[in-house]
Amino acid sequence: MNSRIEHDCIGSMDVPDDAFYGIQTLRAAENFKITGIPISHYPHIVNALAYIKKAAAITNNELGKLDDDKTKAIVFACDELLCGKYHEHFIIDIIQGGAGTSTNMNANEVIANIGLEFLGYKRGEYDNLHPNIDVNMAQSTNDVYPTCLRIALLDKMELLMGSMEYLRESFAAKGEEFSHVLKMGRTQLQDAVPMTLGQEFTSYAVMIGEDIERVREAMSLICEINMGGTAIGTGLNAPPKYAPKVTEKLKELTGFELVLAHDLIEATQDTGAYVQLSGVLKRVAVKVSKICNDLRLLSSGPRCGLNEINLPPMAPGSSIMPGKVNPIIPEVVNQIAFTVIGGDVTITMAAEAGQLELNVMEPVITASLLNSLTIMRRGFRTLADRCVSGITANEDICRGYVENSIGLVTALNPYIGYEKSTEVANEALNTNRSVYDIVIEKEYMSKKELDKALSPESMISTHPLNLDPNI
């Protein structure tokens, strides 16, 4: 394989001729053989880097620091990346030491070499367009990398909210479909009071809708960036007016409501926004996982469980038990939730590990947040398409549970009092007789009054019944 010789402050190395990356990228690839997942696996990261380098080049040109030819070359290279080209040259592992310096240099080198060819030079002829001097002008990894992460997160968060809305609509549709299906509500896995299956599914839609708003709130924290702070937030090597101008340019290029942090020293070291976002993602994951637990329980059986609903069969469930079908879609979403919860612990510890003016653990924060956002987005659409949309109700079973439940007696509290209601409940439980028959026998209520009070449809009302026999 043909190669070119490149050098850095450590020494020289042979870089493959066909590589658009350079020596610092190659060193990092050799140093960090960790997850086996390169940056190219995260196109949102590559695109965010391209936006940053393009915005910086245009800003530096407008401030008279970068000439027109170099600016055009850098902008061309960034636009190529934004079109999806050259991503395979981002070869560094997503988890790395150095606070993301290797990721920043991977971008600088790829953009420089694409730009060199645009200008008519060969790759590696950095005297004509240098990765550090030109592409990285007025920048440091310590403002580029966190800004890159935030732009990537904003992109992924919008996608997640789209999936959450899709899932919410799926549950809401089932809420309407099952609005007439009477069933028994349960607390602590014991019979409680009647409700409709529609109310149960509508509550799931409401839960998810609330969390869409929580994710949207977290986005406002992620919109704050520290571009122009350079190494520690003091702005060393950045020209006057650079920070607000590059922020405005990034806002224009990305379409996100990016704002420059008020205190760049604080913003360079603070990872609190990531902790906040991770906590919100954990909240969403926990609540959706709870819903999946409910779906598995409500569909349990089919002969020896609750069997109130049927989940669509997606695959044979056993290699030894013929005809068995398992709730595999809720199960995989449960496991997604466990992964997100584990990622939250990782992000918490990484944020805590910051020291003085920089947190060097941002690469693992990046990997954890992007992974959580990806699997949640995919998982929620899978849950909606391959489970919720195909759920059917076993109406006769649901109603049968209501009619045979001791929980019916709760509706009698306003009319015969708690003591008599308890007496009826205990007798019904001990004798396996119905609540209805016992109340009539004891003459606690007339048949007409009882029929009205114990009407299952009436018991889902939020208002007490008027038992006036003339009404």
Residue from 12, 46, 40, 23 nearest 124 by CA? 23
**CA dihedral of 157, 159, 163, 169, whole degrees rounded to 10:** 90
Q: Is 191 in a helix, a strand, or coil? A: strand
Taking each helix axis from N to C end, the angle separating 362-386 and 272-298, rounded to the nearest 10 degrees, works out to: 30
User: d(Cα 381, Cα 375) in Å, to the nearest integer?
Assistant: 10
The two beta strands, 309-310 and 392-393, are antiparallel
Catalytic, out of 318, 446, 455, 458: 318
Asked if 225 contacts 247 with a C-beta cutoff of 8 angstroms, the reply is yes
Quote the CA–CA distance of 416 and 444 in Å, as a whole number.
Answer: 7
CA 45 → CA 58, 103, 152, 162, 272, distances in Å?
20, 9, 6, 20, 20
Helix (H, G, I), strand (E, B), or coil: what is residue 277?
Answer: helix
Give the whole-angstrom CA distance, residue 59 versus residue 68. 12
Is 318 one of the catalytic residues? yes
Report the catalytic residues.
318
